[in-house]
Amino acid sequence: MPSPRSLLASAVYEWSKLPAIPTRVGERRDFFDRPTRTMRNLECHATTLHPGERAHEAHRHPDEELVIVKEGTLEVTINDRVELAGPGSLLFFAANDLHGMRAIGDGQVSYHVIRILTAETPSI
């Protein structure tokens, strides 16, 4: 178990105070990426995509992932399904499911990503 000093502490993270890091497809804001008392690691970031862009190609990983759409519309692929997700939508990607997202429409898309690693999550 990590030392208590390295555990993620309770806090408020304000969008306007997080630096926007430019990427080739938009920008990214990092909230945290630390172990907690009950999780091996909890990571949260926000991605903003330019119209038509995707952060990366569809992929799989052994941890669960939640995505909360802040603004805009995403075209979401989960295994063989394709759906649309607008503001306020919550996406859940189960471990090892193929998933990907693409910004559609004329405006940018912003969404929060929460990745959860527990003692049960296999190491990559």
Go through the domains of the chain in sequence order and give each one's CATH number.
20-117 (2.60.120.10)
CA–CA separation, 55 and 27 (whole Å): 10
**C-alpha to C-alpha distance for 87 and 41, rounded to whole angstroms:** 27
pLDDT-derived band at 122 (thresholds 50, 70, 90) equals confident
pLDDT score recorded for residue 124:
63
Q: For residue 58, what pLDDT is reported?
A: 94
Q: What share of the chain is helix, strand, coil (3-state, %, to 5)?
A: 5, 50, 50
Q: Residue 73's pLDDT band (boundaries 50, 70, 90)?
A: very high
Tokens of 10: 């309770």
* Whether residue 5 has pLDDT greater than 90: no
pLDDT of residue 95: 95
Kindly state the percentage of the chain with pLDDT values over 70: 95
Whether 4 shows a pLDDT value over 90: the answer reads: no
At 32 the pLDDT is 97
Is residue 62 within 8 Å of residue 93, measured between CB atoms? no
Closest CA to 116 of 56, 33, 60, 53: 33
pTM of the model: 0.91
Phi first, then psi, for residue 40 (nearest 5°) are: -65, -35
For residue 116, give Cα distances in angstroms to 21, 62, 80: 23, 10, 24
Q: How long is the chain?
A: 124
What is the band of 64 on the pLDDT scale with cuts at 50, 70, 90?
very high
Q: In this structure, what DSSP letter does residue 6 have?
A: G
Is the model's pLDDT at 7 over the cut of 80?
yes
CA distance 109 to 104: 8
% of the chain surpassing 90 pLDDT? 90
